[in-house]
Amino acid sequence: MSDNNIAERVRGTIYQASLCLDEARWEDWLGLCHDEFYYAIRAFSPEINVDMTYLDGKRADMVTLTEMLPKHNSDHSPLARHTVVYTVDVDEAQQTASAVSSFTVMKTELDGINSHLLAGESNVFLVGKYRDQFRIESGTPLFSERIVQLDTRRLDKGSHWPI
């Protein structure tokens, strides 16, 4: 398979993951991830001059996290992302790829404040970049790492959901 075809599949996988995350289909999202998947949400703080990790874990940790979501009280306002894949670099010899995407996550209020007044209102929740690594197995890209690098650091209520 050519680099171009693999790159196209990587793009498709990133967009597929965006849809899964938008629709809170956690199992489907994790189905796109390799067994050794690592996930982290990071940000640099100009206040304390530190690279911070807000959340991280391996695939098993993300399975636990998503399986426990129904046991928590959460703001269920849907989060929808606009993702644009900027670059895809394929290493055919190693059967790996890396990609950088930009994302904006919009929150459409549902039950986080006063639903009668606010449900339906959309606001920007997060801005940042996805820095993804893939393993190509039988021509199929699987996420081996996703670093969610946030620009947004005023996070208000935050979220229980993977971004």
> Taking contact as CB under 8 A, which single stretch among the options 4-12, 20-28, 71-79, 131-139 is the one that binds other proteins?
71-79
| 123 interacts with other proteins by CB under 8 A | no
Q: Is 110 in the site for other proteins (CB under 8 A)?
A: no
Taking contact as CB under 8 A, which single stretch among the options 14-22, 30-38, 47-55, 78-86 is the one that binds other proteins? 47-55
Report CA-CA distances (Å) from 67 to 5, 24, 42, 77, 111: 34, 12, 22, 18, 21
Q: Which is nearer to other proteins, 66 or 133 (CB)?
A: 66
Q: Is 138 in the site for other proteins (CB under 8 A)?
A: no
**CA dihedral of 92, 90, 9, 32, whole degrees rounded to 10:** 90
Q: Are 32 and 20 in contact (CB under 8 A)?
A: yes
Piece of the chain touching other proteins by CB under 8 A; list 79-87, 93-101, 136-144, 148-156: 148-156
How far apart are the C-alpha atoms of 91 and 39, rounded to whole Å? 21
